[in-house]
Amino acid sequence: MSEVIVITSGKGGVGKTTASANIGMSLATKGYTVALLDADIGLRNLDVVMGLENRIVYDIVDVVDGNCRIKQALIKDKRNPNLFLLPAAQTKDKEAVLPGQMQKLCSSLKEDFDYVIIDCPAGIERGFKNAISGADKAIVITTPEVSAVRDADRIIGLLEANNLSNPKLILNRIRMDMVNRGDMMTLEDITEILAIDVLGVVPDDESVIISTNRGEPAVLDIKSRAGQAFRDISARISGEDVPFMDLNTKENLFDKLKKAFS
């Protein structure tokens, strides 16, 4: 049973694209066939994060306009043969695609793939409406900041209004040292406001920035803690029951190792 999952946040810069790339890659590593769909027309980034930028010939606008077949536009990942990317157009804008066309596109991708992951653009306008129109499920991603949580709340409301009830939450870029000092919102603070199920918590991790700049998703780095968090999230998406990783112990162990080496 294949699924179309949209990853959205409302606010920009909280990690939608990074999460899409990592979840897509780790689901593909598990053996599922995955299509990543970049819905951020005009400000595409998923291709860069995946390191597939230089292979783009056709894009999503070419597909919906009928300039090419879907298979021609899909770029096979260089590391994993189960993973494909349908890039957004860069020289067009969000108006180039209609929600109806997106719906059609998603349903035809659904026939060939176990998971279709849609990377939603920031905002609540046309791009957002396009991205959610073909989705069966939604993942809302936020960071422990008041502004991001506010936007996430707004997005959850909009998703429910569009029959995407029960979205799941990913809390990204949490720093346990700050939480313990009382300087950062805790997971409990956030779930109290948003009142949705938590899919995972991803610690703030330098390795994500490094891997993103290299075009290698962090899940491929076994040592990366954020990568581990995304692997757990993917396992939960595919129906496995994985316990939440204890960020505190890991942090302490990490610190201990750091001290041992320094």
Partner 1 sequence: MTENSVIFKGNRDGIIIYLDENIAYEDLKYELNKKLKDSSTFFGDTSATIYFHGRRLTSFQEEELTYLVKNNTNLKVNFFLENHQKYDNNEIELQKINSNNKIIRNYKKENEENTKKQEKPKFRKSLEEKIIDATSHFKNRNKKDKNIEKLNLSNTKYHKGSLRNGMSLSFDGSVVIVGDVNPGAEIISVGNVIVLGSLKGVVHAGYTNNQEAFVAAICFNPTQIRIADLITYIPKEKRVLDAPKMAYIENSKIYISDL
- For 181, the token pair is 């000092």
- For 108, the token pair is 């035809």
Q: 2, 30, 33, 42: which one contacts partner 1 (CB under 8 A)?
A: 42
Shortest reach from residue 91's CB to partner 1, in Å? 4
Tokens 């396009």 belong to 130
The one-letter amino acid code at 225 reads R
Instruction: Measure the CA–CA gap between 63 and 79, rounded to whole angstroms.
Output: 24
Residue 126 contacts partner 1 per CB under 8 A:
no
Q: 12, 57, 69, 242: which one contacts partner 1 (CB under 8 A)?
A: 57
Shortest reach from residue 198's CB to partner 1, in Å? 35
Q: Which residue blocks in 59-186 are alpha helix, DSSP H? A: 60-65, 70-73, 99-112, 126-133, 146-161, 176-181
Residue 90 contacts partner 1 per CB under 8 A:
yes
**CB-wise, 54 or 262, nearer to partner 1?**
54
Residue 53 contacts partner 1 per CB under 8 A:
yes
CA atoms within 13 A on the CB side of 225: 23
Shortest reach from residue 220's CB to partner 1, in Å? 16
Number of residues that bind partner 1 (CB under 8 A): 11
Q: 1, 66, 91, 262: which one contacts partner 1 (CB under 8 A)?
A: 91
118 phi, psi to nearest 5 deg: -105, 125
- How many residues in the chain? 262
Give me the sheet containing 198-203, strands edge to edge. 75-76, 83-86, 34-38, 115-119, 3-8, 137-142, 168-174, 198-203
Residue 175 contacts partner 1 per CB under 8 A:
no
Q: 54, 188, 243, 259: which one contacts partner 1 (CB under 8 A)?
A: 54
Q: 2, 30, 33, 56: which one contacts partner 1 (CB under 8 A)?
A: 56
Contacts of 41 (CB under 8 A, 6+ apart): 60, 61, 88, 89, 90, 92, 93, 94, 96, 97, 121, 127
Shortest reach from residue 96's CB to partner 1, in Å? 12
Shortest reach from residue 60's CB to partner 1, in Å? 15
Residue 43 contacts partner 1 per CB under 8 A:
yes
Shortest reach from residue 53's CB to partner 1, in Å? 6
**CB-wise, 11 or 44, nearer to partner 1?**
44
The footprint of partner 1 (CB under 8 A) covers: 42-44, 48, 53-57, 90-91
